[in-house]
């Protein structure tokens, strides 16, 4: 791509997926792409870095839920050496599966760069460590895409995995240059098979795992939507027309009413399964490692075991313990006489699961949801456009929060009907608006916001502001807030 001639290659990062099998680290409001891995990085950051390290790539398109917009921007802002020259966001009001997301991304890329531009579709929850092999596979897929194919990436199956889809490889496509990863005409897509079938695929040798990554020109995939998924195509076009009215905006908020009419189906199902028998799909067999980090087993595999096969992070004491993964965030976790467990300790929830039953962790999320328990949805620390807050303690009559405000950020001008607030700055500087007064308070200084008093908190300084807030009142719900003015567009019009 780099020095090669041709249309631009635009990575499209699909960042959806709650990752309920990774509870309690993954939550509805902090899903899998944002979950820190044992090395401290998130899957989303790794995906963006992987995309931006490809030669010639300077721009990212991200399709994600609108609730994750600020968090996504924060992740991108944290990519030290790999800032994209441009980022565009397509913000979904709710998930509508990959077909809708890819169709809208293709319409966006076609409008901005022309129909020849190449989309590289990258789910945000994949882990690939061999960047050179990945780049090599992408180079081949881009060439096939420019020749008109719908290219996919297949992974040589290491075991008869029943949690993945498979692609049957047909005729080999002649290599255009030496040392390229092999490519084939895809003859068939098959969904997650039973074990016996998966074993047959493995033995046959011409089946690969369907990685969920794709590569095609905007024109090719839009043409395929029109032919293979006309109903979806018809529903997506009005969504796009509404967005296109935005012109060149970098952030597109998808209309909820129109989006609700789009079928909730995957790109594989809508297009690939139909296009393959017609010979339109090419599969590049990648030689890179690949994981969709679908369960705690995959996360555990990312860490080095000790002599007893125990792994993990944080303060651990292991007595007569083997094969056990422990994630601890602050507490000490002690194990005695156990084996093959996964133990995940977070601020408000603890998971203890046997390795053989990790697929059932999602049932915990279902049960918590049924009970109306917040632990399926939120972490104790909640990201906000201006920073984050952590509830340290909540009791009848009072609630204590640790509030961190980013440099230059500002909370909305607001008022509470039923609580007053004591603010104590522990580091940085706060600019406080209280009724008509505006004043600064620094570390080890405090102020008081009575009920029914308009107030705003800002960080005018060059370091993060950390503040302890003690709320007092008979009702302390987050919904007791009247916003008058909000730089993030959260105030009523």
Q: Which residues are near a second copy by CB under 8 A?
A: 23-24, 315, 317, 319-320, 328, 330-338, 341, 343, 345-354, 356-358, 360-361, 363-364, 367-368, 373, 375, 392-393, 395, 397-398, 400, 402, 420, 422, 424, 426-427, 443-444, 446, 448, 466, 468, 470, 472
Of the pair 273, 345, the CB lying nearest a second copy is at 345
Instruction: Specify the residue, 137 or 467, whose C-beta has the smaller distance to a second copy.
Output: 467
CB-nearer residue toward a second copy: 97 or 300: 300
> What letter would DSSP give residue 15?
E
**Shortest distance (Å) from residue 262 CB to a second copy:** 34
- Whether 211 and 121 have beta carbons less than 8 Å apart is answered as no
Enter the tokens of residue 227: 């032919």
C-alpha 232: how far from its chain's center? 24
Q: How far is the CB of 248 from a second copy (least distance, A)?
A: 44
Closest approach of a second copy to the CB of residue 339, in Å? 8
Q: Name residue 152's beta-bridge partners.
A: 214, 283
Judged by beta carbon, residue 112 or residue 418, the one nearer a second copy is 418
Which CB sits closer to a second copy, 138 or 333?
Answer: 333
Judged by beta carbon, residue 21 or residue 46, the one nearer a second copy is 21
CB of 472 to a second copy, least distance (A): 4
Phi and psi for 352 in degrees, rounded to 5?
-125, 110
For the beta carbon of residue 42, count every other beta carbon within 10 angstroms.
21
In angstroms, rounded to a whole number, what is the distance separating the alpha carbons of residues 61 and 74? 15
Q: Which C-beta is closer to a second copy: that of 247 or that of 396?
A: 396
Smallest distance, a second copy to C-beta of residue 381, A:
12
CB atoms within 10 A of CB 375: 19
| Contacts with 217 (C-beta within 8 Å, 6 or more apart), sequence order | 7, 115, 116, 117, 118, 119, 145, 146, 148
Is the four-CA dihedral 188, 191, 197, 200 of positive or negative sign?
positive
Q: Least distance in Å: CB of 179 to a second copy?
A: 45
Q: Which residue, chain included where needed, has tokens 């204590």?
A: 400
Of the candidates 18, 76, 127, the one whose C-alpha atom is nearest the C-alpha of residue 364 is 18
What whole-number distance in Å separates Cα of residue 20 and Cα of residue 22?
5
Q: How far is the CB of 466 from a second copy (least distance, A)?
A: 8
Instruction: Report the nearest approach of a second copy to the CB of residue 373 (Å).
Output: 6
Closer of 247 and 372 to a second copy (Cβ): 372
Minimum CB separation of residue 295 from a second copy in Å reads: 11
The sign of the CA dihedral 381, 14, 12, 173 is positive
Please provide the DSSP assignment of 93-148 as one string.
SS--HHHHHHHHHHHHHHHHH-TTPEEEEEETT-B---HHHHHHHHHHHHHHHHTT
């Amino acid at each position: 791509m780099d020095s090669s001639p041709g249309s631009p290659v635009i990575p499209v990062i699909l960042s959806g997926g709650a990752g309920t099998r990774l509870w309690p680290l993954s939550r509805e409001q902090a899903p899998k792409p944002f979950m820190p891995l044992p090395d401290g990085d998130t899957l989303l950051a790794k995906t963006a870095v992987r995309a931006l390290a490809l030669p010639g790539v300077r721009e990212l398109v991200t399709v994600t839920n609108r609730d994750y917009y600020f968090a996504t921007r924060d992740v991108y802002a944290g990519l030290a050496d790999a800032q994209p020259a441009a980022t565009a966001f397509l913000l979904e009001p709710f998930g509508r599966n990959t077909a809708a997301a890819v169709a809208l991304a293709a319409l966006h890329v076609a409008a901005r760069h022309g129909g020849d531009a190449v989309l590289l579709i990258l789910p945000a929850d994949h882990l690939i460590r061999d960047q050179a092999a990945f780049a090599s596979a992408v180079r081949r897929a881009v060439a096939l895409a420019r020749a008109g194919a719908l290219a996919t990436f297949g992974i040589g199956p290491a075991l008869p995995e029943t949690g993945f889809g498979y692609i049957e490889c047909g005729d080999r496509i002649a290599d255009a240059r030496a040392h390229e990863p092999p490519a084939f005409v895809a003859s068939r897509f098959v969904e997650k098979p039973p074990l016996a079938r998966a074993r047959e695929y493995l033995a046959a040798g011409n089946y690969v795992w369907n990685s969920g990554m794709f590569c095609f020109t905007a024109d090719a995939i839009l043409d395929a939507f029109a032919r293979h998924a006309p109903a979806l195509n018809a529903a997506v076009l009005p969504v796009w027309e509404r967005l296109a009215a935005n012109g060149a905006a970098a952030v597109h908020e998808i209309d909820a009413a129109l989006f609700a009419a789009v079928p909730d189906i995957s790109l594989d199902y809508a297009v690939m399964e139909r296009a393959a028998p017609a010979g339109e799909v090419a599969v590049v067999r990648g030689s890179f490692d690949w994981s969709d980090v679908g369960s705690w087993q995959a996360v555990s595999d990312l860490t080095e075991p000790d002599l007893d096969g125990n792994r993990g992070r944080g303060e651990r004491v292991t007595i007569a313990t083997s094969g056990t993964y422990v994630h601890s965030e602050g507490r000490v976790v002690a194990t005695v006489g156990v084996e093959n467990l996964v133990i995940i300790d977070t601020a408000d929830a603890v998971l203890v699961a046997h390795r053989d039953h990790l697929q059932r962790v999602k049932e915990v999320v279902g049960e918590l949801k049924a009970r109306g328990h917040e632990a399926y949805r939120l972490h104790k620390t909640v990201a906000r456009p201006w920073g984050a807050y952590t509830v340290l303690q909540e009791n009848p009559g009072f609630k204590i929060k640790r509030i961190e405000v980013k440099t230059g950020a500002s909370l909305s001008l607001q008022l509470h009907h039923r609580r007053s607030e004591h603010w104590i700055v522990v580091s940085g500087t706060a600019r406080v608006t209280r009724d008509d007064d505006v004043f600064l308070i620094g570390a080890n200084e405090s102020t008081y916001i009575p009920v029914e008093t308009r107030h705003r908190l800002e960080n005018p300084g060059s370091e993060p502001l950390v503040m302890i807030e003690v709320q007092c009142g008979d009702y302390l719900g987050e919904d007791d807030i009247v916003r008058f003015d909000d730089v993030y567009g959260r105030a009523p019009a």
